[in-house]
Structure 1
Amino acid sequence: MLSNFEFVNPQLFWLFLLLPLVALWYFFKRNHQTATLKISSIKGFKTPKNWLARLRPLLFVLRLLALAAIIVALARPRTVDESTRTVSNKGIDIVMAIDVSASMLARDLKPNRLEALKNVAARFIRDRVTDRIGLVEYAGESFTKTPLTSDKSIVLTSLKSITYNTVIEGGTAIGSGLATSVNRLKESRAKSKVIILLTDGVNNTGFIDPKIASELAVEFGIKVYTIGLGTNGMAQSPIGIRADGGFQYGMQQVEIDETLLKEIAETTGGKYFRATNNTRLEQIYEEINELEKTDIEEFKYTNYNELFRLWVLLALGFLGLELLLRYTVFKSFV
């Protein structure tokens, strides 16, 4: 409730330290505030108790309250209402090309390469608040999973549904995956167009040469970041299918065409990364997130509601009441 309340000059509250001093001064000087008469004895005077005399310090209390209200008014209390408006007219269009071949089920990343990628990619997508993002799946062939959209819920739902299946032809067609991604971005008018191409193998199928696809990316002003996914050496990978339909795992050599991935990245002005574990994969996406910054303009509007006038009126009210009582009810004591 008080989060939007502030004082412009809070240092003036130190003046409250003067009020106890003023009160002490009044306490010691109160008997000298009115005229006195010295007589030898008052035995002949009837001295009934006078309640007005006892209430006379009320005048001083009213004056102290007026001083306190003035101090608060000088400190300038006010409420602050802030609103912001974010404008981004220089967004980035990003297509994530994801390898979904059987080798992506290898368990060198936990729980496997594909699920590790999906977890990290989901955080990356959430961070790209103002950008449009699309998804492309590829194995032996490729297709668009999600076209470019700024609706992150759609992209995240599509990403979650990506699994290995036997519908897509087997193999790894890097050229096809890259060409499909380029096709999604070629008509884009964004200030920056980016493809994040991830694979854990070598280009061993498809009708499009990856080098030709990378040249198309250059022609349309698209930057490609390539990620080679997998440990160095051997990895527990699917080697067959059991009778129950599940995969049989065994140790296999990890083969990633790093030369090709580096060439694609270099040709398009991107960068090549190698992810050998979950932590490194997270670091790669964080680095890409930093490299591809979106220009965001934030306009802040502040509305101040000054409240000092209320305290000034309160101080005048206390002073007015004091004067009224002083020259009416307590007139005989002045």
Structure 2
Amino acid sequence: MPLLMFIIFSVKNKLQQGSWQAVCDADLLPFVLQEKQSTQSRVPLYTTSIAAILAIIAMAGPTWQRIPTPVFRNAAALVIVLDLSRSMDASDIKPSRLARARYKIADLLKQRKDGQTALVVYAASAFTVTPLTDDTETINSQLSALNSNIMPAQGSNSALALQHAVQLFKNTGLQKGQILLITDDDKIQQAIDKADLPSAFQLSILGVGTADGAPIKLAQGDFLKDASGNIVLAKLNSHALRKAAQESGGIYQKITDTDADIDRLSHYFDQSAKHAEAVNHDLLLENWVEAGVWLLLPILLLSAFSFRRGLFS
């Protein structure tokens, strides 16, 4: 609208230029004006105005055609599920199972090059720390605050946590993805059966702990005991975790003192995403094709008329 007002004002001003008849006496005009009046061309004004209008339309991004675009990022979506039950406080892995698990999550996030990531924690119930997002720094900033004491009730409800992870995918319209369960739960197969995990969501497991196990130290300084008064010794059953991961379409990796565990998991997630892209199972988004760039051609042509008067005459 400001441009149209400017054009109208400019045209009106051009029409009024040289109108001496409005200010001079008719008897004086022959002595004031030349016998042959020179007419100033209005072509530059018109061409510049049209070019300016086309430029505004081009910057607005006109479009009338859509093309389907594969959404490769969907296959790379990952939900990390972290066990915050009391057994994760065992210190058979220094400084503790939970502390080492947090370090491993941070290392995994550093290697995430593409795809969205979410973090879920659970004990007796499951909670979303961060939904699926591209901003891994948001997840990193929450890791240090994660400990077993923040959970309202203790337990190890892995089935509920897996259902919660699947719901995160569905909330964002994703019908498949990767789940990484970080736990020491030796009853994971029962949890998977109870969760009724869809085959489109592959479950990988990072086992935290050792076969020998360790007692679980409480905040009061005592050790966790069972109903009989015996000290609970939390042991890692790698065989059960490996079998559960393989039957769920993922891989099992025991936590290590090096980067070998995270390197293997990252490589697996990357390869799974590439395979999904190759078989063309990704969702398609219809993107509009912006056609404003084609208006540059008439804009350049019209600009030539106003750049130097008489260029094409």
TM-score by length of 1: 0.52
- Counterpart in the other structure of 2:235: 255
- Which residue among 230, 239, 244 is the counterpart of 1:264? 244
- Counterpart in the other structure of 1:56: none
Quote the offset at 1:110 in angstroms: 1.8
Secondary structure in 1 matching 2:202: strand
Q: 1:57-89 deviations in whole A, cap 9, x for unaligned? A: xxxxxxxxxxxxxxxxxxxxxxxxxxxxxxx95
**1:234 equivalent in alignment to 2:213:** yes
Quote the offset at 1:188 in angstroms: 4.9
- Counterpart in the other structure of 1:273: 253
Quote the offset at 1:111 in angstroms: 1.2
Moved over 6 A (4+): none
Q: Residues 199-218 of structure 1 correspond to what in structure 2 (within 5 A)?
A: 199-203=183-187, 209-213=191-195, 215-218=196-199
Quote the offset at 1:247 in angstroms: 5.1
Contact kept, 8 Å, 1:135 with 1:159, in 2: the verdict is no
Equivalent pairs, count: 197
In the superposition, relative to structure 1, how do residues 154 and 171 fare at CA in structure 2: closer, same or farther (>3 Å)? Answer: same
Distance 2:158 2:151 in 1: 18
Distance 1:120 1:105 in 2: 16
Contact kept, 8 Å, 1:201 with 1:255, in 2: the verdict is no
The aligned amino acid for 1:284 is D
Q: Residues 72-83 of structure 1 correspond to what in structure 2 (within 5 A)?
A: none
Q: Residues 7-26 of structure 1 correspond to what in structure 2 (within 5 A)?
A: none
Distance 2:166 2:243 in 1: 16
Structure 1: segments with no counterpart, 5+ residues: 1-87, 297-334
The aligned amino acid for 2:72 is K
Contact kept, 8 Å, 1:109 with 1:278, in 2: the verdict is no
Secondary structure in 2 matching 1:161: coil
In the superposition, relative to structure 1, how do residues 286 and 168 fare at CA in structure 2: closer, same or farther (>3 Å)? Answer: farther
Contact kept, 8 Å, 2:91 with 2:97, in 1: the verdict is yes
Quote the offset at 1:168 in angstroms: 2.7
RMSD over aligned Cα atoms: 3.0
In the superposition, relative to structure 1, how do residues 152 and 145 fare at CA in structure 2: closer, same or farther (>3 Å)? Answer: same
- Counterpart in the other structure of 1:174: 158
- Counterpart in the other structure of 1:101: 85
**1:292 equivalent in alignment to 2:299:** no
Q: 1:111-135 deviations in whole A, cap 9, x for unaligned? A: 1111111112112112213221101
Q: 1:222-252 deviations in whole A, cap 9, x for unaligned? A: 11001221111132422x553xxx4548975
- Counterpart in the other structure of 1:157: 141
Identity of aligned residues (%): 24
- Counterpart in the other structure of 1:223: 202
| Structure having the larger proportion of residues in strand | 1
Distance 1:125 1:189 in 2: 23
- Counterpart in the other structure of 1:193: 177
Distance 1:249 1:187 in 2: 38
Secondary structure in 2 matching 1:145: strand
The aligned amino acid for 1:228 is G
Distance 2:250 2:181 in 1: 11
Q: 1:157-210 deviations in whole A, cap 9, x for unaligned? A: 122321221543112111111111111123555696100001113349xxx943
In the superposition, relative to structure 1, how do residues 191 and 211 fare at CA in structure 2: closer, same or farther (>3 Å)? Answer: closer
- Counterpart in the other structure of 2:260: 283
The aligned amino acid for 2:212 is G
Distance 1:267 1:124 in 2: 23
Secondary structure in 1 matching 2:185: coil
Structure 2: segments with no counterpart, 5+ residues: 1-69, 226-230, 278-313
Contact kept, 8 Å, 2:182 with 2:206, in 1: the verdict is yes
Quote the offset at 1:99 in angstroms: 0.4
TM-score by length of 2: 0.55
Question: Which structure has the larger Rg over C-alpha atoms?
Answer: 1
